[in-house]
Amino acid sequence: MPIIGATTIATPAGGSMARRYHPVDAPVPRLICCPHAGGSASYYFPFSRAMAGTGAAEVSVVQYPGRQDRHREPFLTDLQELARGVVEAVLAGDDGRPVSLFGHSMGALLAFEVALQLRERAALQADRLFVSGRRSPSSPTTENVHLRDEQGLLREVRALDGTGASMLDDPDVRAMILPPLRADYQALETYRYRPSRRLAIPVTAVVGDGDPRTPVDDAAKWGEVTAGDFDLHVLPGGHFYLVDQWPTLTELLAGKLAGTGRVPL
């Protein structure tokens, strides 16, 4: 069931790719948000509302196939293919305003790939990239969570201490959540970064000081994937630090987005 009050950006194929919960009637930048593995657009509802209140940006949140109102669509297990869909949605909604990207965890890597594809495929330079709770793609990873059995997948989710992890004790909830989660982990873990594909825009990285999967030193390496400016912010909390830090995160991003304009190629 579609979420009441949300509008959509349609892909050329007719499916809905992103949600705008709080349209802003002003020429403010567009901020495209990419959720974490297993996540959905509605997770960003409070952030969208808060950002709209600042007047700094209008938030659109990517809704991955296979969840919520897209639950009948097949999952995507290739991050580059998922990025292509996001790019098409961004272009479909292009109205001349500057576009920035934010992604948390898997969403950080997806937002990075979207920024690359926007430039390579459409000659559209994103204004800024915000990455959260994810090591830089320049840091090698050998994770294989998507190949684990159900109990192995559950252990990973609980280790990250995500909001609602206790709900996974319910077999019906597990049956609904684990398949898209596994698909997302496959997309994340099979992605291969090529050092020759670098950005030229400002990148801001944010990480929790107690994140068990993203050491601060690895988050700092996001500076290696862009020729633009880079800054790192460490906030209190674990992998899902943003649950308790939405106000701080909103203030940080609003400050960075203030006065932005479309970046020339």
Question: Which ranges of 133-225 does DSSP label H, i.e. alpha helix?
Answer: 150-160, 171-189, 216-220
At residue 234, the 3 state secondary structure works out as strand
Q: Torsions phi, psi of 30, nearest 5? A: -95, 135
Of 231, 188, 235, 243, which is closest to residue 207 (Cα–Cα)?
A: 235
Query: What's the helix, strand, coil split of the chain in %, to 5?
Result: 40, 15, 40
Could you confirm whether 71 is annotated as catalytic? no
Q: Is the Cβ–Cβ distance between 30 and 93 less than 8 Å?
A: yes
Instruction: Give yes or no for a contact between 33 and 47, defined as CB atoms under 8 angstroms apart.
Output: yes
CA distance 253 to 250: 5
Q: Are the beta carbons of 34 and 107 closer than 8 angstroms?
A: yes
Task: Tell me how crowded residue 5 is: count the other CB atoms within 10 A of its CB.
Answer: 11
22 catalytic per annotation: no
From the candidates 48, 60, 105, 136, give the one annotated as an active-site residue.
105
CA 224, CA 196: separation in Å to the nearest integer? 11
- Per DSSP, helices labelled H in the chain are 45-54, 79-92, 106-122, 150-160, 171-189, 216-220, 242-257
User: H-helix or E-strand containing 109?
Assistant: helix 106-122
The pair of structure tokens assigned to 120 is 């390579």
Distance from the first to the final alpha carbon of the chain: 40
Two tokens, residue 181: 């989660």
Active site residues per annotation: 105, 239
